[in-house]
Structure 1
Amino acid sequence: MGIALTGMTISYHAVEAADTRIYIDPGHGGSDPGASANGLQEKDITLKIALKTRDILNEQYSGHTIKLSRTSDVTKSLNERTNEANNWGTNFFVSIHINSGGATGYESYTWNGSYANKERTNAIRRTIHNETVGQTGFIDRGAKEANLHVLRKTSSPAILTENGFIDNAADADKLKTDAFIEEIAQAHADGIAKALGLPAK
């Protein structure tokens, strides 16, 4: 009986310690491919980055739990994503995307509205933004604001990252390699850990 209670106590404290809830949203999926060019579809790349980011966070950092909006090629509405994150009680929401429009580089977004945690949201975003630009060598296209559903409707601090341009041949060539996907994911994981104060294992 005492052993069982001790085990329960350890389990309880383990759950309590992992109290930073991170919701990772690979953009698009299923019937919504996102942008397509150079033999790539945005939905596939965002999923690869998201899964790798999750794995790196779990392998290298502690003090958190992670939920993904999708772990395979399924269709999920924007409302489903934000409702799920809010109902779960997420502490941080990141939506991962690949850009299009023929340019090159990295940019990130927070909501352009007026809200209570805007200063904290922008501080978190700045840390992740700088980490990603620094580790990947992407041209820095700036930290921006926009009226996007996943940023507006998430109750926690929320950011959206745009990791290169799928219709830029040089960016696309990099995005086709596992090594570069890992660089983006490592940068996201390190930035998230630094911004949210997650201890390294």
Structure 2
Amino acid sequence: MRMIYIGRRYFSFFLVPFVLLSNLLFVNESSPQLADKVIIVDAGHGGVDTGANRPGIVEKDINLAVALQLKTILNHNGAKVILSRQTDIELSTECDDEKVKGRYHRDLAARVELAEESDADIFISIHANAVGNAKRHGAEVFYYAKSEQGKLLANAIQTELHTITHTP
């Protein structure tokens, strides 16, 4: 597992889906620290953008299933959750910036707009990446390099994922 710093206005976390689906999440039964927090859960890809795929499996479907499950867990713990998508759609049509060209770039820009306009406390982007090298495995946690709170949350997530998955 590795932590990666990103230099954007928002931060995101890329989580291993099976960790969330098995309900082994860093949020415990009573989490008062989540009360009144606004959390965006971004189900990566969608629509014509399948993300990674294997025979009979596409990343966008896994991401959406995990995002919906995560929303349920976070809502149960008092957070207000905004989903980037609730069905298999792309977000390119949601982009308000006419300067952004191309469906892929407009889709990404729409996700950034959602993060910026919502004034969310946390932005979580779910991805189930695939790598052709079997030596590369585990979870990646990304966060905004200028956010000390983002770094603390990323460290907590990384530690929990390391504990659960037993990966270095």
Aligned counterpart for 1:19 among listed residues 36, 45, 64: 36
1:95 aligns with 2:125: yes
Q: CA deviation at 1:36?
A: 0.7
**Contact residue 106 and residue 138 of structure 1 kept, 8 A:** no
Q: Which amino acid aligns with 1:21?
A: V
Query: Across the two proteins, how many residue pairs are aligned to each other?
Result: 117
The runs of at least 4 aligned residues of structure 1 exceeding 4 Å deviation read none
Q: Name the aligned partner's letter for residue 105 of structure 1.
A: G
Name the SS of the counterpart of 2:120 in structure 1. coil
Letter of the structure 1 residue corresponding to residue 127 of structure 2: H
Give how far 1:134 is off: 2.3
Secondary structure of 1:54's match?
helix
* Paired letter, 1:123: L
Distance 1:126 1:53, change over 3 A: same
Q: Which has the higher helix share?
A: 1
The CA deviation string for residues 1-53 of structure 1, in whole angstroms up to 9 with x for no partner, is xxxxxxxxxxxxxxxx9531000001100010001114211100011111001
The alignment's C-alpha RMSD in Å is 1.9
Q: Determine whether 1:81 maps to 2:114.
A: no
Q: Which has the higher contact order (CA 8 A, sep 6+)?
A: 2
Query: Which 5+ residue runs of structure 2 have no aligned equivalent?
Result: 1-33, 92-106
**Higher Cα Rg: structure 1 or 2?**
1
Q: TM-score, normalised by structure 2?
A: 0.63
Tell me the TM-score normalised to structure 1 length: 0.53
